[in-house]
Chain A
């Protein structure tokens, strides 16, 4: 009688362990808390395991859209010092039936981000052996950033070329004007009354050699 009662009490966990240990539908999980967090690392204990089981139950709920998943549906075994263990998920309707691997994989992949954040870990430090991580999608730009910088630089270069051309053109124009203007200036110098001086527009005036102090030609 007592033996029967004892068997009844200890049977479920024994069966549960068997379900977990022998099963093909389980996944091995590995956490690297010290690597990820260094000095801020938390201790892995029963409460953390509780959190893990509840996040997995949450993931199953979200994926199957059934609110019947509970923490008792997540069975864990093979705990090691590494902080790695194996888990299986039982169906909420029948505790002896396991959820197939593919479904668990899908559930985990869809909610990996939430599971990672619950433990302050990343895809590298919280590994589900056999489930590849979903990497962030590459950023798609409307215009590649390098084209923008290229555009800026080549715009500056184009401005430089235009400035160069304009300076050449204006230099040629000035040279032409100077050649044409010289002939006019010759006529202006001949007139030495007020009109000519005002016509010279601010220059120093005309050098009248009669009053020069230049002894260049009269040295003895």
Chain B
């Protein structure tokens, strides 16, 4: 029997204590809670942002600032959010109001940020569905360009770009040329988004009971796929080039301050702090759940997954770069053979570059005729093309997949993995909205309110994302919706817990829950190191924003068939 003591002080005046007719629902086992947090924290950022940062900031050397930041800010902040949730047994609004009524705004800020995130994050799931459904064809649609009207060649837009880029920008998004041109609705995408939202709704409809069952799958299956991909990836031709390139540490990058800033922000966003999801999840815990051990485990799993995913990504990169390099050599070989009518056996892929030199010297006039078509093939240049974000997930990966044998199978596996990663994170964010609103009785936990909520979100999404300029809105949201506000929110969280609530009181609460006080490491981090780090990150972002001038975005230019930079209008 759970002893229900009505909370004292401020909370009694507010309509949000949990000693009501219905006891607060809870996880069936601590394992469900851990898996829910893992499923939430391990998301698309681990797959598409961390490998990019690793490549940009010196390969293996990047792990040093990354792990340091994990110890300095990641784990302590994670611990605080779990502790607050478990102690107050309320969502973010209620929990912060219990500390001080003036802090209610902090909770509301978390809920609003989660709402912004929900609006645009499910779009990625819609894209994953689109690609998944299109994988069930004998020839993957992004493997070949579509044929033009009189069947003499391929569509021009596709020839100049690549089939994968064409499929993403033209067939998936049908992108317009700027954010101002709305274009029409893309019905296929709208249907996929509808499906994504219905599935999210089904996952959360019974609250913790349904979420708890779903996370067994969404947390574990991506690892199965990653392991399969790891085995497939390292056995691909040329994969070793990529992995070697990634892991060679370039320690001179460590003196670049940008490296440290990126490490700090990556840890921060990767753990999903500040959205209120962790508070919401842990509010369903038993009072004596050992969250200290769980916080450390989950953070380490999250970082470990990032490193693991980047090994997979780099083996895929290596394969793609080697494939492109060898195709380039083959093209040059053919060019020389055709221009000089040499026998096919004379030039092999290995001595193309020597032959080009030789032909330039011996037949300068004829060589000048083809000089404009000569490309300089370089494996390093191919490996250097670092991509992140949706470009990596949907363009680079699909390009690599189409060259693998049995590509349909790999495509299906990959997009299912992306879906599960995205859905897991969505679960956390939607719970972060529903839990605090249900706690302050704005919504009841029953079926009908969820329908209302989902329907509202759906409508909002339709409005924004499935016009043809949707991808530009997506980019805006991705860059601005959560970054600055989260830093501010978490900074205030740490300050409130340490100074408003009081570190001593917090220690006593933890002793009450866990049976022992937190040791000096935690206290030093909470009181001094983490706030300082967060504050400096926040200042840095503001300076960067002010210095950046008019914000710009990458627009797809249909005529030039590449991304060009456009200025954003400030409304």
Contacts and interface: CB of A to CB of B under 8 A. Distances in A.
Contacts of A82: 337-338, 341-344
Contacts of B202: 157, 160-161, 164
Interface in B181-220: 188, 191-192, 195, 198-199, 202, 205
Interface residues of B, number: 31
Contacts of A35: 334, 344
Contact of A134 (B152, B154, B343, B345): B152
A207 interface: no
B195 A33 contact: no
Interface string A163-188: 01000100000000000000000000
B569 interface: no
A137 to B, nearest CB: 7
Nearest to B131: A146
B151 interface: yes
Given A81-B341, A82-B341, A146-B136, A154 B195 contact: yes
Interface string A141-163: 00001111110011001001100
Given A138-B146, A168-B447, A150 B342 contact: no
Contacts of B205: 164
A160 B201 CA distance: 11
B130 A146 contact: yes
A169 to B, nearest CB: 10
Contacts of B545: none
Interface string A16-59: 00000000000000101111000000000000000000000000
B153 A132 contact: yes
Contacts of B341: 80-82, 84
Contact of A149 (B136, B199, B447): B136
A150 B152 contact: no
Contacts of B447: 168
A134 B192 contact: no
A130 B146 CA distance: 22
Contacts of B343: 81-83
A93 B536 CA distance: 91
B24 interface: no
Interface in A89-143: 132-138
Contacts of A133: 152
Nearest to B132: A149
A90 to B, nearest CB: 25
A157 B199 contact: yes
Contacts of A84: 338, 341
Interface centre among B133, B147, B151 (most CB of A within 10 A): B133
Nearest to A133: B152
Contact of A137 (B134, B151, B192): B151
Given A150-B133, A160-B202, A135 B338 contact: no
Contact of A135 (B153, B191, B198): B153
A134 B134 CA distance: 26
The 8 closest A-B pairs by CB, nearest first: A81-B343, A146-B133, A80-B341, A132-B152, A82-B341, A34-B344, A149-B133, A135-B147
19 contacts: A32-B334, A35-B334, A35-B344, A81-B342, A82-B337, A82-B342, A82-B343, A83-B344, A134-B151, A135-B147, A135-B153, A135-B154, A145-B134, A149-B133, A150-B133, A157-B195, A157-B202, A161-B198, A164-B205
Interface of B: 129-130, 132-134, 136-137, 146-147, 151-154, 188, 191-192, 195, 198-199, 202, 205, 334, 337-338, 341-346, 447
